[in-house]
Structure 1
């Protein structure tokens, strides 16, 4: 889709479609926070709370970078979660990125999870997720192919393979 496509939808009063296209416009540039602020305002004016939430996530990624991963949750029989992960950045589990504390224990870090293309990620399932670290600078070393571990206590409840890790320019 192009800017011309967006304009055509606007000309036909298809505001929601135009907003969807603008959120996913791929022109080879990373949207700025101002861009996301305008989309957030537009979504809120149209009473699209879910869209506004996604735009806030996009704004956060513009500031801190993108971390995408393929997350495999352990099944309850394997000691994993018994309930699905809500998809819209609500859950904030701990992640083992390979860091250690001075005492030699795993240096676990917090990150929110946004499940891509689904409302939830069920126990035992695998799906693409975006991670929103509480301390983004401590995640800057991640590279595609690296594996990190999700914890909600002991033992681990899932593993994620990094598929994209972009830093803020």
Structure 2
């Protein structure tokens, strides 16, 4: 199967009423497909994941398309989206402490590489914070520098332990003993 077929099949799966924040619909995607603008069509499709919970088969079509076009960043994002379709979405506004206040000295890489620990408020039997691990995907940037604030997506290693999160809750990020950042949950949805 070629890229045009894969993207066409993915476009056919998007409900007609889905619109992203920029006002793009599947009609726009089909227009780019008609002109063999596959990379643009892939980017638009991958951005049509709001307003519906895409099935893993949809993400698989996008992943295959990205890999056939050698678009490793797009493929990485589609793998992340596939994971969220299975496990749910956790988005937060993360504020990193400046390095002068004990925060990180280097930026957080943007593509889900870093796996810090998070305090969600739970306690161990000994009364210590029950820290949980989650990958961090920085939205709309390649990295989040020390002292900066930005939107992130979290990929918990144990998603079920994060199911109680609600928008407005604050959690803390740790890479050792002291916290290196705080995050306010802006979206939390469990797996279907």
* Alignment TM-score > 0.5, same fold: yes
Question: TM-score range with shorter-chain normalisation?
Answer: over 0.9
Q: Which residue of 1 aligns with 2:73?
A: 50
Alpha-carbon RMSD across the aligned residues, in angstroms, is 0.9
1:35 aligns with 2:69: no
Cα shift readout 1:120-146 (whole Å, capped 9, x = no counterpart): 000000000000000000000000000
Q: Which residue of 1 aligns with 2:88?
A: 65
Q: Which residue of 2 aligns with 1:85?
A: 108
1:8 aligns with 2:8: no
Shift of the alpha carbon at 1:26? 5.4
Q: Which residue of 1 aligns with 2:190?
A: 167
Query: Which structure 2 segments of 5+ residues have no match?
Result: 1-23
Rounded to whole Å, the distance in 2 between the matches of 1:162 and 1:109 is: 15
Distance 1:108 1:45, change over 3 A: same
Runs of 4+ in structure 1 off by over 6 angstroms are none
Query: Which structure 1 segments of 5+ residues have no match?
Result: none
RCO (CA 8 Å, sep 6+): is it higher in 1 or 2? Answer: 1
1:148 aligns with 2:138: no
* TM-score normalised by L of structure 1: 0.98
